[in-house]
Amino acid sequence: MAELRYAEDGRLLFTEEMRKEYKVLVPQMAPYHFDYLVYALQSEGYDAELLKTDDYELIHEGMKYSHNDICVPAMLVIGQFIDAIKHRGYDDEKVALIIVQTGGGCRASNYIKLLRKALEKAKLSHVPIISLNAQGYEKNPGFSITPRLLHKFHDAVLFGDTLMTLTLQTRPYEKHEGETDRLREAIAEELRTYFDHNKVFTWRRNKKMIRSIIERFQRIETVDKPKPKVGIVGEIYVKYSPLGNNHLEYTLEKEGVEVVIPPLYDFFLYSFSSSAHDIERYGGKKRIKWAYRAIIWYIEIRREKIRKMMRRAGFDTPIPFKDLKNLVKGFIDYGAHTGEGWLLPAEMIDLIEHGAPNIVSTQPFGCLPNHIVARGMLKKLKRHYPESNIVAIDYDTSASKINQINRINLMVSNAFRQFEKEDAQ
Amino acid sequence: MDAYRVGIDIGSTTIKVVVLDENDSIVYDDYKRHMSSISESMKAMFAKLSEQFSEEKMRFNFTGSAGLSLAKHIGAQFTQEVISATTALRHHVEGIDVCVELGGEDAKIMFFEGDNVEQRMNGTCAGGTGAFIDQMAALLDTDAAGVNKLAKDYERIHAIASRCGVFAKSDIQPLLNQGARKEDIAASIYQAIVNQTVGGLSQGKKIQGKVAFLGGPLTFSSELRRRFIEYLNLENVYTPENGEIFVAIGAALEACEAPMSIPDLIERIKAYRRKEKKDARKTMDPLFESEEAYEAFKKRHDKASLEYKNPSEYEGNAYLGIDAGSTTTKMLLISEDHDILFEYYAHNRGNPVEVGRQALKRMYDTLHEGITIKKAYSTGYGEELIKHAFRLDGNEVETICHYRAAKHFEEDVNFVVDIGGQDMKCFQVEDGVITSIILNEACSSGCGSFVETFSESMGYEIDEFADLAVKAERPVDLGSRCTVFMNSSVKQAQSEAAKTEDISAGLAMSVVKNALYKVIRAHDVKEEFGDTILVQGGTFNNDAVLRAFEKETGVEVTRSNIAGLMGAFGAALIAKDAAQPAPFNHSTMLDVRGLQEFTYKTKRATCKKCENHCSLTINIFDNQHRYISGNRCEKGAGFDKGYEEIPNLYLYKYDKLTRYQPEEGRTYEKTVGIPFVLNMYENIPFWQPFFDALGLKVIYSDRSDKALYEKGQDTVPSDTVCYPAKLVHGHIESLREKQPDFIFYPNMPHNLDENPHADHYYNCPIVALYPEVIEANIDDMDEKLFNQPYLTLNNKKKFIDAMKDALAPYVSVTRRALSQAYDTGMDSYRAFREDVQKEGERALEYARANDLKTIVLAGRPYHVDPEINHGIPKLIRSLNVVLISEDAIHHLAREDNVNVLNQWTYHTRLYDAAKAVAPMERVNLVQLVSFGCGLDAITSDEVKDILEDAGDIYTQVKIDEISNLGAVNIRLRSLLSTMEREKDADGRA
């Protein structure tokens, strides 16, 4: 075990020594993206490993070490970590954990502190935790978000979003079962070494890779029989994590629909945009506000290039962030940015307006912001878009799956009926 | 001719089969309760079906929640039940506007608008209706039909929580114990269902026009329909004759896939069963590895026993303990040597006094003159009632009784866990003093009795059911959140063909996990509470539960042979402790004669002494002794003592807030309506003077009460949001009636930055953004009427910018005027805060000077609303205790940070209040938590840590729309009793 050093506030630090000796465990939060984030970390010299566990033991550990009323994401992430250290053969004296911290008025900002409490209870307080955040909380001597790492993360999210969009549009229609997933796995394998270079800021290399990905997806043989589209929106963890949402994407595809999941990047842009918004409205440093806007501008340039390539290859693309933001104007205020905030209704409107009026709105049981921005907005959405077909599902480790499936089934049945009606016309 | 069409509706409790011919006429129908064994029932039903149709090929279509996976696996057609119902409805009747369908597990509502149908189902947290009625019927000692019959003769409706079965049960039990009429309770149960349907399901859409009622409960109970019709003022109602098979008819109408023969279908079902059995479910290790292990276990637990003694062989003194629990009455008469002379255990059956009378009568029948009952004590929910009815010598709060009894078996016991039918109680003992009391909150209620009710529904005695669990090889994981969730998990397991023994063992694990992780919140019981643990309560008579507890904690615990009677035993021991050695002393309890002549009547009344308007039950014994129950404070009980002057910050603050009023006689140009809700309880001292300075007259919404809540409940979009937020809808409606020029309700993501040591100063997401919900859900409101700007009070310039825009449509104000008004408002706000803090200090001083105990009831500013706190402040005052709010004491705390992200201002006050209380003597903190407050999952652990690190007791009171204070009362009295004993212990030391 490395020497344990503590910050002034008493928090255990991740030191330079640990960086060399420790394995850094990453919880699975979004399967399309997190592999690449881990590759990016590995390329920068961290011995990172993604936890892909998904079983009963993990839930049990989560229950044991977190408050039962805490939201499911916190419980599962805590459970996944503790289960890994206790039962999956990691040396507890040689592991560190990494957790994404969002910030803001939602209780999710507290996850890292809850994780720390849980580790203490589990007698693992010697395991350091690294907070990954945009606000500059909790710095560690052994971990620094260099511009290069940041840019690699940026690429990783872009790859994830691109692969997610391509997969979701291809897999339901593939002629040879399993071809899409095989391709995605092959690409993931190639991307393993993609980040092992230092010229990250140039677009050329990125462009080449993405073009090759798109072309290979284009080559997958598909059946030309349209399916109704069902969108997934919701709290960021249960929206993307199969562990959180009982494999919703898989369930829906089995029902015979095409699933649409909005890109992860929009969530980050929404967070930056919200920070800028608050400075504008409640006061703060103008310099920071402009910095956020510049970041959004820069990222959107890259994203637009990718969207163009995808469109040219005949794929549907997510709309630009600016347009997404405009959709919700007059519907809910940009000041509503606790949790998923205005992004959630914006994504729902986007889906409705772009051929996917059927939506599963996922939320952890008892999620506070979702009372407002998800369930709270359904009536207004229905008023503006009578054709919308939205089901709100609460996710909880104790909730019975049959109840969830039954409600999803109702939404899907209606989706098919509407789809056939439109088809007949 | 075209093939017959068969609709098969497999619901959570029943299977319905309907066969239609080509003219859509019903040629066959069948209805059966599947007793949770779907495959067996299906086989029987198919056998019957084939008698009429032999091997004819028919089009089968399945529907219903339990039919889904079956249909999928056997490759049969499946139509979601709401769609089936819609189809059937459209086929049978025209012009339906709304359809309400209540099933065993799910509730659904459909709104028809032309071609468009909007369909909704209840959320996860809203319990099923049929299952709910069955459970409530059991409480009333009848069945579903009996409830309907009772409801016909109701006189009044009691407020019963409509959130879910667990909550409703917590409301009904005390009503029963207070002697409320069963007829009234039955009607109230139906009303709760109506409220839940209107509040939870319709979510903003009005149930009006022509309304169809479907599903078992609505088909079979006329009174439930009547409650709907009366409450919603319905005139045009459609109830199909064959409502119970209506959904199956819909499925038959939808049947369109290739015909199959019955034998073919049966084959497919068999194949599916075989496959299902192989599929892995979430299973756990068996409770016992072997038969021997079980035998050893049994032997170990036989040690802690009381002996039974035949009363005819005993002469001398005896002591009686009566435990009037929430569902059962337990009685124990012990000899001088603690032998059992008489024991009694019975369900209250809704009439605890009568049960008590019978028990005493039976006891007197077995006794003889040589036995003298020296003292008799009561304990439990109904301790006061029983004491007054039979004139016992005394009563004692149940935690103390339990400890007394536990000590008898384990002198050095350091942790007692009691799982009864309804409640769980745990407490920790250090140096002979109870140092920590853990009581379950509403969500965990009823776990114990759930196992029992469930085993009965499966046709097993509870003992048999427990025996099954012992042999289970692969217990099923059934979750642990609450019994409503467990119930649906069980249904799912059954539909997946889990064995009964595995379910029984799974339930035992669920009960234990609920106790350990939900109630006790321990990750390592041994480390936190020591290894001398005594478990008790009727639920632990179940060996499976006992074993599950030992397995999960890794501790070998003690359970006595009277696990279910420990409260009564404790009361008897306390009676013995209290008895004087003098030979002629005997109990004041009614003797044989007195008992024969005993009469008992109840009257109902509403207390009018304050705005709480408590429903009182006046119990009259022997035509002379009166005992009033149902009251929250001393006034209702019929005596006004000098409690008024005991400082009570909740009453003080509420009173002070209502005094921010416009000047009388002044003419104002415009009026602004402010809802008296959430953060307004903090900010009115700012807003009223602010608007007043601008020449606007502030008018407020009415005082919160149930009626006001109901005014707005049909626009509440989320049934799991906290009650304070739900109330906002009613307040807005109340304001609209007053027709102000505009309603002002700002979004305030940030609070005032008042604590430099905190990480941030957010409001919780609900407080911050609830105006958005109002705007989006009260849709018949003029957009211009509702003014909801985004504001901060921290930055004056930004505030003025925002307010200038916000007020522009209504009044024209200059920046200068706004600036002055802001200053006026802030001065007033600061004065208010200082005043509250001063009053807090005064209260502490008063307590010290008068040697009174002090409770810091730590919640949020809006908890001073009597409708939200349900009169708890008055209850505390009537216990002769000084009450301080968190925001009147937090400024006395040291300014350091906590172990969680300290980013919500109200919570910072909470942590600081805890830090301030920690070193104080005779001051204890009770955290007041609203159901659904997700943030309190974080705060409660932290507050607990702060207090326990300082050796203080942490108590939590969780409140919702429930008005049952019984549980709160027990919590507070346990706390006070412990504080008392601690003081005594200190005094001795």
How long is chain B? 989
Q: Is A398 near chain B, with CB under 8 Å? A: yes
- CB-hemisphere CA count at 13 Å for A129? 26
Q: CA-CA distance, B338 to B573, in Å (whole number)?
A: 8
Q: How many angstroms away from the CA of B476 is the closest CA of chain A?
A: 11
Q: CA-CA distance, A177 to B244, in Å (whole number)?
A: 43
Q: Check residues B573 and B476 and name the one with the higher pLDDT.
A: B573
Q: Is B242 near chain A, with CB under 8 Å? A: no
Q: Provide the token pair at B908.
A: 């910072």
Q: Looking at the predicted structure, is the pLDDT value of residue B642 above 70?
A: no
Is the residue at A243 inside a domain? yes
Q: State whether A256 and A118 are in the same domain.
A: no
Among left, alpha and beta (phi > 0; psi -120 to 50; other), residue B744 is beta
Helices (H), A284-363: 286-312, 321-327, 343-353
The H-or-E segment that residue B959 falls in is strand B955-959
Closest CA to A340 of A351, A348, A329: A348
Q: Provide the token pair at B583.
A: 């030979």
What is the b/e burial string over B724-740, where b = at least 16 CB atoms within 10 angstroms of the residue's CB?
bbbbbbbbbbbbbeeeb
Under DSSP, is residue B268 helix (H, G, I), strand (E, B) or coil?
A: helix
Is the residue at A166 inside a domain? no
Closest CA to A379 of A366, A392, A395: A392
Find out whether B749 and B802 touch, Cβ atoms under 8 Å.
no
Residues 269 through 288 of chain B touching chain A, CB cutoff 8 Å: 282, 284
Under DSSP, is residue B213 helix (H, G, I), strand (E, B) or coil?
A: strand
* CATH architecture of the domain with residue range B5-93+250-278: 2-Layer Sandwich (3.30)
Per CATH, domain B836-988 is 3.40.50.2300: no
Domain B311-410+569-596, CATH = 3.30.420.40
Q: CA-CA distance, A301 to A323, in Å (whole number)?
A: 14
Domain boundaries, chain B: 5-93+250-278, 98-238, 311-410+569-596, 418-454+484-494+501-557, 651-833, 836-988
Q: Which of A116, A144, A172 is the last residue of a domain?
A: A144
Q: Which of A144, A173, A204 is the last residue of a domain?
A: A144
Name the band, by pLDDT with cuts 50, 70 and 90, for residue B35: low
Q: CA-CA distance, B195 to B711, in Å (whole number)?
A: 11
Is the residue at A162 inside a domain? no
Q: What is the CA radius of gyration of chain B?
A: 31
Residues 393 through 412 of chain B touching chain A, CB cutoff 8 Å: none
CA–CA distance from A172 to each of A164, A177, B765 (Å)?
13, 9, 38
Terminal Cα-to-Cα distance of chain A (whole angstroms): 69
Alpha carbon dihedral B249, B251, B252, B253, in 10-degree steps, equals 90
Selected residue of B124, B474, B944 to mutate for chain A interface (largest A Cβ count, 10 A)? B124
CA–CA distance from B197 to each of B117, B121, B777 (Å)?
18, 10, 17
Q: Looking at the predicted structure, is the pLDDT value of residue B340 above 70?
A: yes
pLDDT in tens, A327-385: 999 899 999 998 899 999 999 999 999 999 999 999 988 888 888 999 899 989 988 99
Q: Specify the amino acid at residue A248.
A: L
pLDDT confidence of residue B592:
85
Q: State whether A131 and A29 are in the same domain.
A: yes
Q: Is A109 near chain B, with CB under 8 Å? A: yes
The beta-carbon neighbor of A335 closest among B486, B747, B777 is: B747
Contact A413 B116 (CB under 8 A): no
Closest residue in chain B to residue A277, using alpha carbons only: B790
Q: Provide the token pair at B808.
A: 């522009």
Contact A365 B125 (CB under 8 A): yes
Name the band, by pLDDT with cuts 50, 70 and 90, for residue B837: very high
Q: Provide the token pair at A259.
A: 């699933």
Q: CA-CA distance, B717 to A378, in Å (whole number)?
A: 8
Under DSSP, is residue B8 helix (H, G, I), strand (E, B) or coil?
A: strand
The beta-carbon neighbor of B938 closest among A114, A121, A417 is: A114
Closest CA to A122 of A94, A69, A68, A81: A81
Residue segments in chain A with a per-residue pLDDT below the cut of 50 = none
∠ at Cα B771 (B767, B777), nearest 5°?
125
Average pLDDT, chain B: 86
Q: Provide the token pair at B550.
A: 């030992």
Contact A281 B790 (CB under 8 A): yes
Q: How many CB atoms lie within 10 A of CB B827?
A: 13
pLDDT confidence of residue B811:
92
Q: How many angstroms away from the CA of A311 is the closest CA of chain B?
A: 34
pLDDT in tens, A273-322: 999 999 999 888 999 999 999 999 999 999 999 999 999 999 999 999 99
Q: How many angstroms away from the CA of A86 is the closest CA of chain B?
A: 14
Contact A402 B937 (CB under 8 A): no
Q: Is B492 near chain A, with CB under 8 Å? A: yes
Closest CA to A99 of A128, A52, A132: A132
The beta-carbon neighbor of B798 closest among A104, A281, A401 is: A281
pLDDT confidence of residue B437:
77
Q: Is A224 near chain B, with CB under 8 Å? A: no
Q: Specify the amino acid at residue B72.
A: K
Terminal Cα-to-Cα distance of chain B (whole angstroms): 95
Find out whether A88 and A58 touch, Cβ atoms under 8 Å.
no
Find out whether B168 and B200 touch, Cβ atoms under 8 Å.
no
Q: CA-CA distance, B16 to B62, in Å (whole number)?
A: 10
Contact B123 A67 (CB under 8 A): no
Q: Provide the token pair at A283.
A: 């006061």
Closest residue in chain A to residue B85, using alpha carbons only: A410
pLDDT in tens, B748-766: 999 988 888 888 889 999 9
Beta bridge partners of B417: B426, B535
pLDDT confidence of residue B636:
60
Is the residue at A288 inside a domain? no
A24: domain CATH number? Answer: 3.40.50
Find out whether A334 and A274 touch, Cβ atoms under 8 Å.
yes
∠ at Cα B863 (B860, B867), nearest 5°?
160
Q: Looking at the predicted structure, is the pLDDT value of residue B746 above 70?
A: yes
Q: Is the dihedral of CA A301, A306, A312, A318 positive or negative?
A: negative
- Superfamily holding B418-454+484-494+501-557: ATPase, nucleotide binding domain (3.30.420.40)
Q: State whether A137 and A234 are in the same domain.
A: no
Alpha carbon dihedral B879, B885, B891, B894, in 10-degree steps, equals 60
* List of residues 6+ apart from A223 with CB closer than 8 A: A173, A174, A175
Is the residue at A372 inside a domain? yes
Q: Specify the amino acid at residue A72.
A: V
Q: Provide the token pair at B354.
A: 């009568």
Contact B491 A407 (CB under 8 A): no
Say if residue B857 is exposed, middle or buried (CB neighbours under 10 Å; 0-12, 13-18, 19+): buried
Is the residue at A201 inside a domain? no
Is the residue at A311 inside a domain? no
Is the residue at A282 inside a domain? no
Name the band, by pLDDT with cuts 50, 70 and 90, for residue B377: very high
Q: Check residues B789 and B977 and name the one with the higher pLDDT.
A: B789
Contact B717 A116 (CB under 8 A): no
Find out whether B296 and B147 touch, Cβ atoms under 8 Å.
no
Q: Check residues B845 and B268 and name the one with the higher pLDDT.
A: B845
Name the band, by pLDDT with cuts 50, 70 and 90, for residue B779: confident
Count how many domains chain A has.
2
Written in H, E and C, the secondary structure of B651-693 is HHHHHHHCCCCCCCCCCCCEEEEECCCCCHHHHHHHHHHHHHH
Find out whether A281 and A303 touch, Cβ atoms under 8 Å.
no
Helix-, strand-, coil-residue percentages of chain B, each rounded to 5: 45, 20, 35
**Largest interatomic CA distance in chain A:** 72
Q: State whether A246 and A116 are in the same domain.
A: no
Beta bridge partners of B629: B617
Q: CA-CA distance, B666 to B685, in Å (whole number)?
A: 19
Q: Check residues B289 and B736 and name the one with the higher pLDDT.
A: B736
pTM of the model: 0.87
Q: Is A56 near chain B, with CB under 8 Å? A: yes
Same fold, B5-93+250-278 and B98-238: yes
Q: Specify the amino acid at residue B522.
A: A
Q: Is A414 near chain B, with CB under 8 Å? A: yes
pLDDT confidence of residue B772:
95
Name the band, by pLDDT with cuts 50, 70 and 90, for residue B988: very low
Selected residue of A107, A246, A373, A382 to mutate for chain B interface (largest B Cβ count, 10 A)? A107
Q: CA-CA distance, A341 to B585, in Å (whole number)?
A: 72
Helices (H), B923-965: 936-949
ipTM over 0.90? The verdict is: yes
∠ at Cα B502 (B501, B503), nearest 5°?
90
Q: How many angstroms away from the CA of A375 is the closest CA of chain B?
A: 6
Contact A371 B721 (CB under 8 A): yes
Q: Provide the token pair at A277.
A: 């918004």
Contact B121 A406 (CB under 8 A): yes
Contact A379 B717 (CB under 8 A): yes
Closest residue in chain B to residue A63, using alpha carbons only: B517
Q: Which of A84, A109, A144 is the last residue of a domain?
A: A144
Name the band, by pLDDT with cuts 50, 70 and 90, for residue B989: very low
Name the band, by pLDDT with cuts 50, 70 and 90, for residue B282: low
CA B615 to chain centre: 19
Domain that holds residue A404: 226-262+318-424
* CATH architecture of the domain with residue range B98-238: 2-Layer Sandwich (3.30)
Name the band, by pLDDT with cuts 50, 70 and 90, for residue B13: confident
Secondary structure letter of residue A377 according to DSSP: H
On chain A, the residues whose CB falls within 8 A of the CB of B935 are: 107, 368
Q: CA-CA distance, B823 to B536, in Å (whole number)?
A: 61
Helices (H), B3-162: 38-53, 68-74, 81-92, 129-139, 144-151
On chain B, the residues whose CB falls within 8 A of the CB of A117 are: 899-900, 941
Selected residue of A372, A391, A394, A413 to mutate for chain B interface (largest B Cβ count, 10 A)? A372
CA–CA distance from A375 to each of A365, A379, B324 (Å)?
12, 8, 43
Q: CA-CA distance, A270 to A47, in Å (whole number)?
A: 31
Average pLDDT, chain A: 91
Name the band, by pLDDT with cuts 50, 70 and 90, for residue B416: very high
Helix-, strand-, coil-residue percentages of chain A, each rounded to 5: 55, 10, 35
The beta-carbon neighbor of A282 closest among B485, B763, B795 is: B795
Q: Looking at the predicted structure, is the pLDDT value of residue B447 above 80?
A: no
Q: Looking at the predicted structure, is the pLDDT value of residue B246 above 70?
A: yes
